[in-house]
Chain A
Amino acid sequence: MLSVRDLHVYYDGIHALKGISLEVPKGKIVTLIGANGAGKSSTLRAISGLVKNIKGSIVYDGRDIAGQTPVDIVRGGIMMSPEGRKIFPHLSVLDNLMLGAYSRNNKAEIQKDLEWVYEVFPRLKERSGQKGGTLSGGEQQMLALARALMGAPNLILLDEPSLGLAPLLVKNVFDIIQNINEVGKTVLLVEQNAFAALKIAHYAYVLETGSIVLEGTGKDIMQNAKVCEAYLGG
């Protein structure tokens, strides 16, 4: 579904991604793990069209989307839940969700998805009129996920969804990611919480200072001594 080939990302002279290639097959959860500054977020931002200075190809559904605007990419069916959640704190929960659906025009379908999202996240329904900023950290993460789902994506990019959450909530978030995947959404998951990500991922890539150093199924990577040492704490 998504095939990244030799992707380079530059920021003001910094070479953040040094030619990575990865495949995200339809219906799978693929995870990209690595330490801070390894280039995980840069990868997602490049796929979303948020970084202008890129080289290489990003083929999605047979078309090269590298260099397209974020609006076109969202319309094409790729939605991101950004790092640090980035919900709009001054807007209501409902407005936040509707922003996720901004690129869509079919009101009936948006309404249907809203009901579905409320079913998956009942807390958001209870708080639909509340400002996003008044939600707890866990609820804000749910809102960020739900907002991405409101774009009716085929491919969903998740940037550190477990960041700053209590262990119990982390498990909750990963359960939900699995549920989202089971209803047919393809997931590209970026995580520092490598252990939890590898547990649910079908395939994984390990990123180190802008290059992919290791790849394999979630299980393989988890058993790999190198990863255990570097990211899973022995």
Chain B
Amino acid sequence: MSLAMFVQHLLNGVTLGSLYALIAIGYTMVYGILRLINFAHSEIFMLGAYFVFWGIVLLHLPWAVAMVVAVIVVGALGVLVDRIAYRPLRDAPRISALISAIGVSFFLQNLAIVVFSAIPREVYRPDWLENAIVVGDIRVLPLTLFVPVLSFLLMMGLVFIVYKTKPGLGMRAISKDIETSYAMGVPVNRVIAITFGIGSALAAASGIMWTLRYPQLQPVMGMIPGFKAFIAAVVGGIGSIQGAVIGGIGLGLIEIMAVAVFPDLAGYRDALAFILLIGILLVKPTGLLGEKLEDKV
């Protein structure tokens, strides 16, 4: 592999990886706080992409504006999902919320089929993302720079919220001890709602950027990226934001590099993530950065 090729694969890997990482963050944050795997997360990802499409087609918004609006609307939708489907089950056994999550996932997916129809739609991509930049031998799509950079900025924003703001302090407290957080006067339900809002907004951003790379909209488009991001979160250590980022980017790199080095394996690309998952779980069941979770008494 020439250096130029290597750099291109590297950028592709980081691009795909950042998209996984943005989704994985939402899984891991919700799990960290509620010990709930939010299966509806992959539908949130899909809705982000659709909302941009409709923003452009119906409201004639410029792409960038449509993206910002879609991210905000989907963030609010995430809060709504928590309010309707999870919050009433806060004191119920964990399995009830999990089943509710599966229900929300099916509901949103089928709602999308009914409302948006199941026919795949083509996605509008802004021109400035299409024209390759050429540096020497290296041909770089602006997309492979735009996605990692925007993802990085979003993650920095997230780190700021989690480590420097009051709701962030609340999140970190709730993730360890929900009852003492209550006793200290943390408005637990509001902090959880904020968590859902942020996680959903990041998933929407990921979904939108995903369609820049794979420009086709479908109601089921969230499934495979959702599974893989979930794997990335588990591999990184579920509950850990850093773990989700490392798991996501790692998985993206491995997928792209493996196919680049062994082109024959291209068909097995999706299986790779699961093999990685099994491997990591055998060696380190808590994931790379996961801590041992004691059972709450």
Taking Cβ atoms with an 8 Å cutoff, the residues of A that contact B are 48-50, 70-71, 73-75, 79-80, 82, 86, 88-91, 95, 98-100, 102-103, 147, 151
Task: Verify B185–A102 contact, CB threshold 8 A.
Answer: yes
Q: Are B185 and A103 in contact (CB under 8 A)?
A: yes
* A100 to B183 Cα, complex, angstroms: 9
Q: What are 22 A-B residue pairs whose CB atoms fall within 8 Å in the complex?
A: A50-B183, A70-B182, A71-B182, A73-B185, A74-B184, A75-B185, A79-B184, A79-B185, A82-B180, A86-B177, A86-B183, A89-B176, A91-B172, A98-B169, A99-B169, A102-B166, A102-B170, A102-B184, A102-B185, A102-B186, A103-B185, A151-B185
Contact B172 A80 (CB under 8 A): no
Contact indicator per residue, chain B 170-195, by CB within 8 Å of chain A (1) or not (0): 10110011011111111100000000
Contact A70 B176 (CB under 8 A): no
Which of A73, A75, A86 is B180 in contact with, Cβ under 8 Å? A86
Given A95-B169, A102-B169, A102-B170, CB of A90 within 8 Å of CB of B176: yes
Chain A nearest CB: distance from B192 CB in Å?
A: 13
Q: How far is the CA of A50 from the CA of B178 in the complex (A)?
A: 11
User: Which chain B residues lie closer than 8 Å to A86 at the CB level?
Assistant: 177, 180, 183
Tell me the complex Cα distance, A100–B180, Å. Answer: 10
Closest beta carbon of chain A to B297's beta carbon, Å:
11
Residues of A within 8 A of B179 (CB): 50
Measured between beta carbons, the chain A residues less than 8 angstroms from B172 are: 88, 90-91, 95
- Beta-carbon contact of B183 and A48 below 8 Å: yes
A100 touches B182 (CB 8 A): no
Q: Assess the A74–B177 pair: CB atoms within 8 A.
A: no
10 tightest A-B contacts by CB?
A: A74-B185, A103-B185, A86-B180, A70-B182, A99-B184, A71-B187, A102-B186, A102-B185, A80-B183, A71-B185
A-B contacts at CB below 8 angstroms, number: 59
Please report the C-alpha to C-alpha distance between residue A56 and residue B172 in the assembled complex, in whole angstroms: 35
Q: How far is the CA of A79 from the CA of B183 in the complex (A)?
A: 8
A80 to B180, CA, bound (A): 9
Closest Cβ neighbor of B167 among chain A residues = A102
Given contacts A95-B172, A99-B169, whether A88 and B177 have CB atoms under 8 Å apart is yes
* CB interface residues, B 134-181, toward A, < 8 Å: 166, 169-170, 172-173, 176-177, 179-181
Chain A residues contacting B181 (CB-CB under 8 Å) are: 99
Q: How far is the CA of A50 from the CA of B183 in the complex (A)?
A: 7
Contact of A91 among B166, B173, B183, B186 (CB under 8 A): B173
Residue pair B183, A147 in contact (C-beta under 8 Å) = no
Q: Let me know if B173 and A71 touch, CB within 8 A.
A: no
Residues of B within 8 A of A49 (CB): 182
Query: A99 and B173: CB pair below 8 A?
Result: yes
Q: In whole Å, how far is B161's beta carbon from the nearest beta carbon of chain A?
A: 15
Closest residue on chain B to residue A87 by CB atoms? B180
* Nearest CB of A to B7, in Å: 39
For B185, list chain A residues within 8 Å (CB).
70-71, 73-75, 79, 102-103, 151
In angstroms, Cα B188 to Cα A102, docked, is 11
A88 near B183 (CB under 8 angstroms)? no
Distance of A73 Cα from B173 Cα, bound (Å): 19
Contact with A along B225-250 (1 / 0, CB 8 A): 00000000000000000000000000
* B-chain residues with CB within 8 Å of residue A102 when the two chains form the complex: 166, 169-170, 184-186
- Per-residue interface assignment for chain B, residues 196 to 233, with 1 indicating a CB less than 8 Å from any chain A CB and 0 otherwise: 00000000000000000000000000000000000000
A90 surroundings in chain B (CB, below 8 A): 172, 176
Other A-B pairs, 6, CB within 8 Å; known A75-B185, A102-B170, A103-B184:
A50-B182, A86-B183, A98-B169, A102-B184, A103-B185, A103-B186
Assembled-state Cα–Cα distance A89/B184 (Å) = 15
Residues of A within 8 A of B170 (CB): 99, 102
Instruction: Give A50 to B179 CA distance when docked, in angstroms.
Output: 8
Residues of A close to B166: CB separation below 8 A: 102
Determine the distance from Cα of A102 to Cα of B181 in the docked complex, in whole angstroms: 9
B183 contact set on A, CB distance < 8 A = 48, 50, 70, 74, 80, 82, 86
Q: Is the CB of A88 within 8 A of B186?
A: no
Residue picked from B170, B173, B182, B185, most chain A C-beta under 10 Å:
B185
Which chain A residues lie closer than 8 Å to B187 at the CB level?
A: 71
Q: Whole-angstrom distance from the CB of A121 to the nearest CB of chain B?
A: 17
Is B176 touching A71 in the complex (CB atoms < 8 A)?
A: no
A90 to chain B, nearest CB (A): 6
How far is B173's CA from A44's CA once the two chains are assembled, in angstroms? 21
Contacts of A73 in B (CB 8 A): 185
Using known A-B contacts A71-B187, A102-B166, determine if residue A88 contacts B182 with beta carbons closer than 8 Å: no
State in angstroms the CA–CA spacing of A98 and B186 once bound together: 11
